Structure 1
Amino acid sequence: MGSIPQALWKAQIPLHITHPSHPNTPLITSLPRFSYLALLVPRCSAFFRTPISAFHHEDLLLRNLPLGLLVDLYQPSLPWRLTVSDGDSWDIGDTFLNCVKEADFVRYGNAKRIMSLSKSDTSTLWNAVQDNDYPSFQKVNAQLLNAPAALRHVPLRLYIPSSPPKSSSPSPPASSPQPPAPAAAATQEPSTGAFRVLQTLVPPTVPGTRNTPQTIGQALRANLPALFPSSRDPVLANVVLHGSPVPFAAPLEDLMREAAYPDGWLCLTVVLL
């Protein structure tokens, strides 16, 4: 039986992609949960014979996030029907590595581990995501997670919808280049108004204790008490990770090591009950 990370890397999202000029000629494909839609730009441009760089879910321009996280956010029926168009382009590789550096900073208070990697190892991280190559990724990522320094905080982002997804079908199994402010939570409000992102410094152990692991439920209650009045059970809202509800008793550090996205971030989507 494979490990949780191996299963997550193997997971695929089926896609049905159309262009306004070719509404009856869809590109039918699938993409790994840990991949990015931007990696389909060359293929889509060749298929539709026109430059494209933007992906839309219904009328919503999708942000530059891992595909699995987008699925958790919008809960589409599958295959996910997307449309493409021309728009602003970006370097997804640079965006990914900036997220990796930020996650490293959050974990240890500095980015020494990622900055000390060889150029080859740094390239391997992004190449592994492009190639969906978990063994190659894990060899380098283990150096980042198993540092001699003590883990200070868990890189955690909570995605809170400002309105419920239009599709109610269940889903199948972010990025700033600068380190976060060390004092308080950072809240980002996207221009679309579809969701906001809560990012704060969350220690792996319960504050005031030495070695008591902090659970997801405790972190949720501490940072979003209005939505999570209980640290043991979902009352008003739940959180979803990789298409599944997360047990409130799950230790944060264990979840980070087993189920974080390749950029190092543990991304939980809040779902109102």
Structure 2
Amino acid sequence: MGDDRAILRDVWEGKIPVCFHLAQDEVIAEQPEPVYQMVPRHSYLPMVTEKISKHFAQYVDKEKTGEMWIDFEGQPLKWHNPVGVLYDLYGISLPWKLTVHFQDFPEEEIIHCVGREAVESHFMSMLKEADALKHRSSVINGMQKKDHKQMWMGLVHDKFDQFWPINKRLMENTGDDMFRYIPFRIYQIDRPFIQQLLKPHSEEGHEHTLEDLLKLALPDLGESKDQKILIQGIEVPLDTPLLWLSEHFSYPDNFLHICVSTVRSQDTSREW
């Protein structure tokens, strides 16, 4: 891998300013002030909302208080997707205004999160799936538990220099081809995510690009001007090689999370 550390660090350090406010219909007294927070794009909501939960919980009826969940303009947010993916799908302006709830958990739309352990379990499951696609699980299975823990704690504490030395092993060449397949998921509003098998190179040896991936996974996408293709909040050129993207723009779970976002007013995605 061409270890362009500056790009890797810049992607890691991406953050979203978020404004959390308590749902008005759940307040039992005076509406508390909103809470503002800079949230890492690569993190997950349950990892960054523990203090927010404790703060707002004192303003709601304890007898009706259940598991906290968050929505954006009425859309419950799936905590098991990285925050950056959620913003690229639904965000319009900054700061991103999110509503905190403690009642009426939307059972049919989001899964329960029993604590940080559930987030860790989900993260490690995604990491193992990505390595199965890339290296037939040889890298992740060759790691020790302390390596897994170092990666997780690097993610929890937002420490690039703690996370990357271990993650680098998952990005290294272990054969004639860099990866067997490119781990990716494509997200669209109100549709299941798309995940398919695609090698870094064609049978003729040509590098596959982001455009090749989109033609495979979304053949009817076309060139609609009211849609953006975002990875890490960036409109990446369609001729960018997939292998390079996988090396540099994957989230910590080693997946390329690609969002097909409808352009709306005050859209604030960034261009590469």
Q: Which residue of 1 aligns with 2:56?
A: 48
* Structure with higher strand content: 1
Q: Which residue of 1 aligns with 2:131?
A: 104
The answer to whether the 8 Å contact 1:11/1:33 transfers is yes
Task: Write out aligned runs for 1:88-127 (5 A).
Answer: 88-90=112-114, 91-108=118-135, 110-127=136-153
- SS of match in other structure, 1:212: coil
Offset at residue 75 of structure 1 (A): 2.3
How many residues get paired?
233
State which of 191, 196, 199 in structure 2 corresponds to 1:200. Answer: 196
Aligned-partner Cα distance in 2 for 1:94–1:266: 19
- SS of match in other structure, 2:237: coil
Residue 132 of structure 1 pairs with residue 158 of structure 2: yes
Q: Which residue of 2 aligns with 1:12?
A: 15
TM-score by length of 2: 0.79
Identity %: 27
When residues 225 and 272 of structure 1 are mapped into structure 2, their CA distance, relative to the original with a 3 A threshold, is farther
State which of 227, 234, 255 in structure 2 corresponds to 1:265. Answer: 255
Stretches of 4+ moved more than 3 A in 1?
A: 49-52, 234-238
Aligned-partner Cα distance in 2 for 1:39–1:272: 28
The answer to whether the 8 Å contact 2:18/2:36 transfers is yes
Offset at residue 31 of structure 1 (A): 0.9
When residues 238 and 46 of structure 1 are mapped into structure 2, their CA distance, relative to the original with a 3 A threshold, is closer
Residue 217 of structure 1 pairs with residue 207 of structure 2: no
Aligned-partner Cα distance in 2 for 1:37–1:128: 16
TM-score by length of 1: 0.79
Gapped regions of structure 1 (runs ≥ 5): 162-193, 229-233
The answer to whether the 8 Å contact 1:35/1:66 transfers is yes
Deviation string 1:17-46 (CA, Å, 9 cap, x unpaired) is: 112326442111111111111113321122
Deviation string 1:210-229 (CA, Å, 9 cap, x unpaired) is: x311111112112222114x
Question: In the alignment, residue 97 of structure 2 is paired with which amino acid?
Answer: R
Aligned-partner Cα distance in 1 for 2:42–2:217: 27
Q: Which protein is bigger by CA-based radius of gyration? A: 2
Question: In the alignment, residue 97 of structure 1 is paired with which amino acid?
Answer: M
Gapped regions of structure 2 (runs ≥ 5): 59-64, 106-111, 264-272
State which of 73, 97, 117 in structure 2 corresponds to 1:58. Answer: 73
